[in-house]
Amino acid sequence: MSLLIGALTIGFILSLLALGVYVSFKIFDFADITAEGSITLGAAVAAILLVNGWPPLAATAMGALAGMVAGAVTGVLAMRFQINRLLSGILTMTALYSINLRIMGRSNIPLMNERTAMGQAEELGRQLFGKETVSALGWEVGVRDLSALLLIPALIVIACLLLFAFFRTQLGTAMRATGDNSQMVRAQGADDRWMVILGLALSNALIALSGALLAQYQGFADVQMGIGMVVWGLASVIIGEALVGTRQLGYAIAGAVLGSVLFRLLVAIALRWGLNPNDLKLITAAFVFAALILPKLTARAARARKWRAAHA
């Protein structure tokens, strides 16, 4: 039961990563590799501030703000200096590795003895339930795990509602229009370059927020924790699209969250069945490959059935 709760919680935390990838990849068609550095940046900034006595909320917010700056840098490189989009993300990601090491001072910062958001949730859970473990569906569950599972989805719902509301505003609509047709936006007198920069800043703020929460949940921040996260976010978005079956804004946002949770559950099941943790990245790549080709194979099979029915 603890494995299931942990998988759900991490899936919800990483859904912020999926939302960030959705903003950059789906709305702006920008393959932003910055995510692998910005998720670690959010964790690093939050961790070092927590070690220095900052309140968890303020430290988490500063982690998200740092990610916003990183995303804006990638946007400026691509849109103002006309550097290839993919290369812009790679440049920022490469620089962030050294920046993250500078911020942390070492490769790993433990947070087990620091006051974190998860620790505050656990304290609230103890006051609410009055004991260390709680019976859930016949299983004994620790208050910390249950408190985190109640806190994180609530935060994700708030983030999704705010993101949906933002993209319905005039600025948000202009940003979405930039992704659809930048020439039309320029014809309306708007600067499409700034729209992309703002979009990447928003994207990486969400990704860094995910990193800050993940570090507090796992109890440490590590300089290597961002490796492969772009693939994870992309897989979540693709799985989410397959689940909801539409690209409408509200459904797409919900789909990204559902895709992240489902993807994490699939990984947890694979580990439960005896998967070697060293093969986790390989299995992740296999899941992404399957998520990319299965919709096409399904559509091709449906067309073939229709053709056979029409010519029978």
Name which of 25-39, 89-103, 203-217, 274-288 the model is least confident about.
Answer: 274-288
Report which of 75, 81, 78, 88 is spatially closest to residue 203, judged by C-alpha positions. Answer: 75
Residue 43, C-beta contacts closer than 8 angstroms, at least 6 positions apart: 63, 208, 211, 212, 214, 215, 221, 222, 225
CA distances from 271 to 61, 122, 234 (A): 33, 27, 21
CA 199 to CA 213: how far, in whole Å? 22
Instruction: Report yes or no on 77 lying in a domain.
Output: yes
DSSP 44: H
Report the predicted TM-score, pTM, of the whole model to 2 decimal places.
0.92
Report the run of H or E that residue 244 belongs to, with start and end.
Answer: helix 229-244
Instruction: Report yes or no on 254 lying in a domain.
Output: no
Instruction: Report yes or no on 164 lying in a domain.
Output: yes
**What is the per-residue pLDDT across 172-211, written as a single tens digit (0 to 9) for each?**
998 998 888 878 877 777 788 999 999 999 999 999 999 9
Instruction: Report yes or no on 175 lying in a domain.
Output: yes
Instruction: Report yes or no on 81 lying in a domain.
Output: yes
**What is the per-residue pLDDT across 168-181, written as a single tens digit (0 to 9) for each?**
999 999 899 888 88
Residues spanned by the domain of 167: 2-226
Residue-wise DSSP of 6-32: HHHHHHHHHHHHHHHHIIIIIIS----
Give me the mean pLDDT over the 20-44 stretch: 94
**What is the per-residue pLDDT across 88-107, written as a single tens digit (0 to 9) for each?**
999 999 999 999 999 999 99
Instruction: Report yes or no on 160 lying in a domain.
Output: yes
Number of domains in the chain: 1
Instruction: Report yes or no on 246 lying in a domain.
Output: no
Name which of 21-30, 50-59, 254-263, 294-303 the model is least confident about.
Answer: 294-303
Instruction: Report yes or no on 231 lying in a domain.
Output: no
The single-letter code of the amino acid at 35 is A
Give me the mean pLDDT over the 75-96 stretch: 95
